Amino acid sequence: MAQERRSTRTVLLAGIVVLGLGAIGAVGAVQAGDPFNGMWGHGGMGGSGFGGPMIGSMLDRALGSVDASDAQRAEIRGIVDEASAEIGAMTADADTMKKQVATLLAAETIDRAAFETLRRQALETGDAVSARALEAFLDAAEVLSPDQRTILLEQQNGFGPRFGLGRR
């Protein structure tokens, strides 16, 4: 009976730890990490980051599909590269935050106020990243003509709801 209680308590405690770490990790990854980290690399249009190889080729294809001029392509690439650098600077302390979470979790007692402070910092970072990404998106959209934007929207609908893009 005592053994059964101990194992139930251990499983419950492990579940709480896993859920807590998962929640912190999800917030940290989304809010404090580069939103394009891992999938597209790091850096400029040439081979990494927001403008890494995958996003770079997608951007090239999209701009080609609307017959974007060389000037439009260069301006949009500049917008993307600048936003990528700024977002990278905004998220530079992500590793520090992860270490702080680990330190707080390893402590004898849980410091809820410290976790709340980290959560608020992650939200502030996420909001700043989101605002900068939107600004870059709108800046790039302004480079294109209304007709070019319409063509891109029509092409986007071809992906369908599975990608969160098409008609609902």
pLDDT higher than 50, residue 150: yes
C-alpha distances out from residue 168 to 149, 153, 154, 160, Å:
20, 14, 14, 8
Higher-confidence position of 106 and 14 = 106
Q: How confident is the model at residue 59 (pLDDT cuts 50, 70, 90)?
A: confident
C-alpha distances out from residue 92 to 15, 44, 97, 125, 156, Å:
31, 16, 10, 10, 32
pTM for this model (two decimals): 0.62
Q: What percent of the chain has pLDDT over 90?
A: 43
CB 83 within 8 A of CB 132: yes
The number of beta carbons lying within 10 Å of the beta carbon of residue 44 is 19
C-alpha distances out from residue 46 to 51, 55, 104, 126, 141, Å:
7, 10, 39, 26, 21
